[in-house]
Structure 1
């Protein structure tokens, strides 16, 4: 890859400039406009910024531009980053549609207090996600993660008068601060060894030290384990998941949906890039299983088991989906610990399909809670199949896909994950695959509780309820690819396969 200076890098940084311009326009319009035009302008500017960022990134990807090192090597410009730029822009746009009518974001209230701040922060977080996936320098990795984390703290506590929201945000801050400190400590070990923050230079030093000692040096192992605390915190991997259920339950549902897919996707993207570029990690060595494959496998098993078995006992649907999100991070870690192209392709494809089905599930949760005085318990779903049949069908589609049942997209995503493990071979990978299959079966039990409540339990009231048109339309729009990608996924998978050759 060619290293570009600051001026040369600007033409490859246009999606981020679009987001920055969107933030400035949203803040300016929020200060100047009044009445209905205020929220219309805010939403229009935010959507326009995300659309512009997405279109420019699509242009980069379609034109197959060569990979570059931007800003003297701080950021990477490659197909891998461009694909995630598109994903983040699409996720952001869906969240804006999700959040517009919601009173908890300020947009759905009469005074619309806080709406400008909400959408401006959402755009800045999207900018941070882009920087995360492009980072190829330890300093940029840390700064981009902190940019996303600090603003996520604010959005998680956006319901100022809600005790659960404040409690969740405080726990988010505490766990985030701890993970950040441990990650910085790990980075200091790697910097002390390599005398550089650049991932490529770290890789050269790691290879030299490993060759000299015949195995991975202890200093590198300690540094990487500490850095895994920061990465694990972003993706909600056990044992760094403790903040997740309280934050997901207390935050505005639109932000819960965003946190469950956006930062998680960016966390996996930078995790894959770090291990590929800084460690050149492999699953096997002449001496057998590498420490990286063993650590990744342990994290995957712990994350799946904690997420799925804890979800079995939840009565709050948002909290249940929080533990479900933890479990899905475990499934994606199965593809990570293979350290092969097929594993990376499986992770990225799974992220794409997971975004559709998980955003859709949280959208239904928001719609049901709105009609039940913010009651998110499973009892509010009693008889939903008769009171709101379209909404119930959408929820059933998302839950079947999250379980991994055919013919839905979640099945194909898990198929590629398990196929990568089986293709890699070895007893360790077979154990991981077996644990993954068992956990997928366990997840059916708690998803089935919601299905039973919707279709097999008598409603507490016969009164039907209507859903906001924007939410119903968005739910259907998310359900369509959830079904289509379960029967015809080749174009999306081929796009992913072409894009992940970079890291």
Structure 2
């Protein structure tokens, strides 16, 4: 038999390769032109993201590195989200005047780009080891970015906490993946699904090991997503990190965790979701954690006086809404997850963009410091109001349709099969906690518009920072009124999974 070289097809990895090299070029450029370039390094980083997006549009679907790397509708969808989150995080950073970023722009922007490379690599991973490597490539640069203000006690604390939690969650995830490999005999995710089903039919006593693997995987990914009870690190890390990095963590890092969850559970373990698979059904476990996220995230957000901590708890609650769509495991559920992420990208990155601008001028992240802002900075106040209302889910903004589609997917599953009637409870809790969220979001709006005080801050901001607000505003209005393009694009992701239609 004639021996043949494996088919690598590097064309499928061109966006990742280009962005990786561009990140190195950005850091090298800053190294040799330090303190002479001003914002040039930031603009260079934004240009790299735009070129990467253009290359991505030309790449198409296909395999790379045999079966290890695969470009499909899901990977393309998430890569767009990652590039968008990185673009808005970098643009939000232009206004930061802290000397640590001013003197180390190359490292700062380069690490954001490298983390984005990891996210993109993760989204195309079709194999357990490459998925794990992609997840680590995502998080390691974020450890450094979280502690970037080394003279700031809160920033150093954020970096240390994030590192410890990240290392622990990676260990749990790797342990769980090793169990899956032991049960299936393969690291290929698609083949693993087939092998696990055969093993389950042949050997009935694998239930305990499989259940242990599921618990380890849920815990490992749960830490990455800040899904209760693995959420305690998030508020401290978000508060101490540079605000654009907190925004990037809340969208990009969470989306990366959701990709890992989808690939492992909706694909590799899809056969073990349903009442006939009890007690190995992972759906109820994830549903319970989603319920905890909705309650804990929204209730604890009410108590916060720091807006970054409030948005941190809010992001925990939003993961709960997204997981409802994941557990639904039907076409509408997958599409609703995709649409929710797009709506969340525009609203949350926009809200953090406002916080970054305000914090740099005022030096405060206290909600009370926003008192009277509408009188001195009306555009900033209007932008923040729109973003917060979208996060609540007020029509006609994109956040309303995002929640509607997630709940509709869960109701469709529950109404078609009595065994899934417990999902009605998820919908009910989701609706109730959405009402709670209105309280703490409205508290910020109240301070800006109805406080008797006059804000002492007259805030001006750079063109890149303005672009973040404009992109966010256009996104929440456009997709709130015209959701079809995103829904159609997101629904193609369901073709990737061999899930059971209920």
TM-score (normalizing by structure 1)? 0.92
Aligned mate of 2:243, from 225, 236, 253: 253
- Aligned partner of 2:417 in structure 1 is none
The Cα shift of 1:464 comes to 3.9
Aligned 8 A contact 1:206 1:220 in 2: no
| Structure 1: distance between partners of 2:326 and 2:355 | 30
Aligned mate of 2:130, from 134, 137, 140: 140
Deviates more, 1:243-252 or 1:338-347: 338-347
| Structure 2: distance between partners of 1:402 and 1:364 | 14
2:447 is the alignment partner of 1:453? yes
Q: Deviations over 1:285-326 (max 9, x none)?
A: 447796221011111001111111110100000100000001
Q: Deviations over 1:392-430 (max 9, x none)?
A: 111110010000111110001111100100111132111
Q: Deviations over 1:58-110 (max 9, x none)?
A: 2345xxx3x43x21322222121112122211221121111123124845xxx
- Match of 1:76, SS state, is strand
- Aligned partner of 2:44 in structure 1 is 45
| Structure 2: distance between partners of 1:335 and 1:43 | 36
Aligned 8 A contact 1:238 1:303 in 2: yes
Question: 1:185-204 maps to which residues of 2 (within 5 A)?
Answer: 185-204=175-194
- Match of 1:177, SS state, is helix
Q: For the structure 1 residues 427 and 164, does the alpha-carbon distance in structure 2 shift closer, same or farther, using more than 3 Å as the test?
A: same
- Aligned partner of 2:173 in structure 1 is 183
Aligned 8 A contact 2:359 2:365 in 1: yes
Aligned mate of 1:395, from 369, 384, 398: 384
- Aligned partner of 1:471 in structure 2 is 465
| Structure 2: distance between partners of 1:463 and 1:238 | 37
- Match of 1:371, SS state, is helix
- Aligned partner of 1:353 in structure 2 is 343
- Aligned partner of 1:163 in structure 2 is 153
| Structure 2: distance between partners of 1:383 and 1:80 | 44
> Which has the bigger relative contact order, CA under 8 A and spacing at least 6?
2
Q: Deviations over 1:175-209 (max 9, x none)?
A: 11211121222122222222222212321221013
Aligned 8 A contact 1:282 1:339 in 2: no
2:383 is the alignment partner of 1:384? no
Aligned mate of 2:396, from 394, 407, 419: 407
| Structure 2: distance between partners of 1:297 and 1:348 | 18
| Structure 2: distance between partners of 1:44 and 1:130 | 21
The Cα shift of 1:283 comes to 4.2
Aligned 8 A contact 2:184 2:199 in 1: no
Aligned 8 A contact 2:301 2:313 in 1: yes
| Structure 2: distance between partners of 1:49 and 1:246 | 31
2:496 is the alignment partner of 1:502? yes
Aligned 8 A contact 1:282 1:338 in 2: no
- Aligned partner of 1:78 in structure 2 is 72
| Structure 2: distance between partners of 1:18 and 1:105 | 30
Runs of 5+ unmatched residues, structure 2: 415-419, 498-502
Q: Deviations over 1:261-291 (max 9, x none)?
A: 0011111122111113311246434477962
Q: For the structure 1 residues 36 and 419, does the alpha-carbon distance in structure 2 shift closer, same or farther, using more than 3 Å as the test?
A: same
- Aligned partner of 1:480 in structure 2 is 474
The Cα shift of 1:485 comes to 1.2
Aligned mate of 2:287, from 297, 300, 305: 297
Which ranges of 4 or more aligned residues in structure 1 deviate by more than 3 Å?
Answer: 4-8, 104-107, 212-216, 285-290, 460-470
- Aligned partner of 2:428 in structure 1 is 434
| Structure 1: distance between partners of 2:161 and 2:22 | 30
The Cα shift of 1:6 comes to 5.9
| Structure 2: distance between partners of 1:192 and 1:287 | 20
2:255 is the alignment partner of 1:265? yes
Aligned 8 A contact 1:105 1:252 in 2: no
| Structure 1: distance between partners of 2:99 and 2:484 | 38
Aligned 8 A contact 1:346 1:416 in 2: yes
Number of residue pairs the alignment of both structures matches:
489
Deviates more, 1:243-252 or 1:419-428: 419-428
Q: Deviations over 1:137-195 (max 9, x none)?
A: 22112222122122111000001111011111111111112111212221222222222
TM-score (normalizing by structure 2)? 0.93
The Cα shift of 1:357 comes to 0.1
Aligned 8 A contact 1:282 1:340 in 2: no
Question: 1:27-66 maps to which residues of 2 (within 5 A)?
Answer: 27-37=27-37, 39-40=39-40, 42-61=41-60, 65=61
Q: Deviations over 1:443-475 (max 9, x none)?
A: 111111101111111125466443444323421
Question: 1:362-373 maps to which residues of 2 (within 5 A)?
Answer: 362-372=352-362
Runs of 5+ unmatched residues, structure 1: none
- Aligned partner of 1:19 in structure 2 is 19
| Structure 2: distance between partners of 1:362 and 1:6 | 45
Aligned mate of 2:91, from 85, 89, 97: 97
| Structure 1: distance between partners of 2:457 and 2:191 | 65
